[in-house]
Structure 1
Amino acid sequence: MAERDEDQLEDLSLLGNQATSYSFDYDPTVLETFENNHPQRDYFVKFNCPEFTTLCPKTGQPDFATLYISYIPDINMVESKSLKLYLFSFRNHGGFHEDSVNMIMNDLIDLMDPRYIEIWGKFTPRGGISIDPFCNYGKPGTKFEQMAEHRMINHDLYPEHVDNR
């Protein structure tokens, strides 16, 4: 088992790399995966990303958000440093909140082919309005497809109390 883990680590080019370069333009090619050591079990992996930024495509002003990325892996999992660099690559990307969140989800589905994934972007207000796009996906033909439908229908059943975000 340890030998297999070492082989997986050799495939990761960003983890532990002190000469990491940061892309300021949208770049999904930076994403890397490693093999799920527990594919027989359903479990969630959740990333809380409180420093996500992208640019308004009309004004060029920065938009700030906390992204919550939760997924149930199948065979592959996203490596966290590559995810950080990927999210950083949105800093100069001009995209509406809804589009950016869906792009991220599409890229992660293409990368990992997870059983289930959901992304919730909680953007800080601009002009007195905050926008919180939510998207999800369940692998077609599985219980996760039904789970995605259920979570979408019930997603904001108990909305948070927003006082100063």
Structure 2
Amino acid sequence: MIAQGQRLPEGILSELTADGVVEHQVRELFAKKKAVLFAVPGAFTPTCSNAHLPGYVALADEIKAKGVDMIACLAVNDAFVMQAWGKDQNATELMMLADGSGAFTKALGLEFDTGNFGGIRSRRYAMIVDDGVVTLLNVEAPKAFEVSDARTILAAL
């Protein structure tokens, strides 16, 4: 699993914009920025939709006021689902990033297999990334939601 002090691995994450699907090279996307990246097991799922994403939507301005250039939500879903979920949650200040194949999540070592529920998904986590280097990594225990929430990350900034 990736650790604090390590550089994000290479990878491609997708985002659906008004111009269509944009593929972002991870290292370029996080270069020369201070970012918060949080991941959820799946869009439109209960904890993700009722607590995790809404917390970042509500605190986006406060997080950005701490010098954060970008807040990104990641899930092993496709870009169309992520964009629809972002619209549903009014996540206008966040990037809704898709790791459709789960390749980036696997490169981080933060994947888990849900079996018939949805297959390979991301563990729930949040990280602070400074110029591509992870400076804080909070990974949740299975079925927990205690250390990756927006308030915890805001307090750490």
Query: Considering the TM-score relative to the shorter chain, is it more than 0.5?
Result: no
TM interval, shorter chain, is under 0.3
Structure with the larger RCO, 1 or 2 (CA within 8 Å, 6+ apart): 2
Between structures 1 and 2, the one with greater strand share: 2
Larger radius of gyration: 1
Normalising by structure 2, report the TM-score.
Answer: 0.24
Normalising by structure 1, report the TM-score.
Answer: 0.23
